[in-house]
Structure 1
């Protein structure tokens, strides 16, 4: 792990993705926790805005994905970024591969922000922030752009959940679903 992190640290220092800079002070005490300063890409909704990404690496890195979240005073308002800094991005959890790197994660986050058409929080932001773990890796994410698969015994009756994106509706549906399981 140490060798891989050293290599990625050098790569990020010498050839950072556009708009990204390693916060050198963050790695002085520990190589397992980095802060990356990020600037919104030109021509996007986030142009000129400054953000910080926190990377935490376990002893199983790169076989285990890093914990990555926005931190600091300015958390981007985005449909896949919760107000506590947690990021709903599949490569940070189930689609992680040891072939990925800090740079590829940074590029994915830049791309995610750059393609945003409207600044808004996820529909379940308030509910999630109230009920989530501090570590986003402990969340079982449901990616809204993927079909949901639910395996139930044949003949199981399930009440219809509302199909809406209102925050109150999502919270109510999650509560109703929780009582069914």
Structure 2
């Protein structure tokens, strides 16, 4: 981890600990500067109202210049939301995690964006290429070159 990455992550963590997370978002753990875990609850009237999902952020030494690897946790206690931009393995096809990433974005901003993405969803369905993608997907979603067309996620 570079000193720039460590300083930025320390600053973000201090802000979260001092000010708290946005409504519906909870920091579950941030024991190091490699991976952090959050829960996000979808608020308001939506298809996911009251549902809670777990997110994992993984940071490399180029953060915040490069986006963190962000995915929904899929394990015995958690599932990925059924959403046109979320694969069943938890990988997320969202442009802010790829070609529209900006170093001005924070971990909290990403959480709020994903919370909003779920809250505005009109139909619970998987991406059209879910089965194929999950079968061949890399462990790290940043190694996938997603195509962003605004409607569906595609590799």
Query: Shared topology, TM-score over 0.5?
Result: yes
**TM-score, normalised by the number of residues in structure 1:** 0.75
Structure 2 unaligned blocks of 5 or more: none
Equivalent residue number for residue 128 of structure 1? 133
Alpha-carbon distance, 1:17 to partner: 1.7
Aligned 1:20-59 pairs, distance under 5 A: 20-23=25-28, 26-28=29-31, 30-59=32-61
* Count of residue correspondences: 146
Question: 1-side partners of 2:100 and 2:124: how far apart?
Answer: 25
Q: What secondary structure sits across from 2:26 in the alignment?
A: strand
- Give the secondary-structure state (helix, strand or coil) at the position aligned to 1:81: coil
Q: Which runs of 5+ in 1 are unaligned?
A: 147-164, 175-181
CA distance in 2, matches of 1:44, 1:111: 10
**Bigger proportion of residues as strand:** 2
CA contact (8 A) 1:41 1:48 kept: yes
From the CA coordinates, give the structure whose radius of gyration is larger.
1
Q: 1:12 aligns with which of 3, 13, 16?
A: 16
Q: d(CA) in 1 for partners of 2:65 and 2:87? A: 26
1: distance between equivalents of 2:150 and 2:48? 23
Question: What is the alpha-carbon root mean square deviation over aligned residues?
Answer: 1.9
User: Match of 2:6?
Assistant: 2
How many angstroms does 1:2 deviate by?
1.1
Equivalence for 1:115: 120
| Per-residue deviation, residues 98-155 of structure 1 (Å, max 9, x unmatched) | 1111111111101110110111101110011111111110111111338xxxxxxxxx
Helix, strand or coil at the partner of 2:60: coil
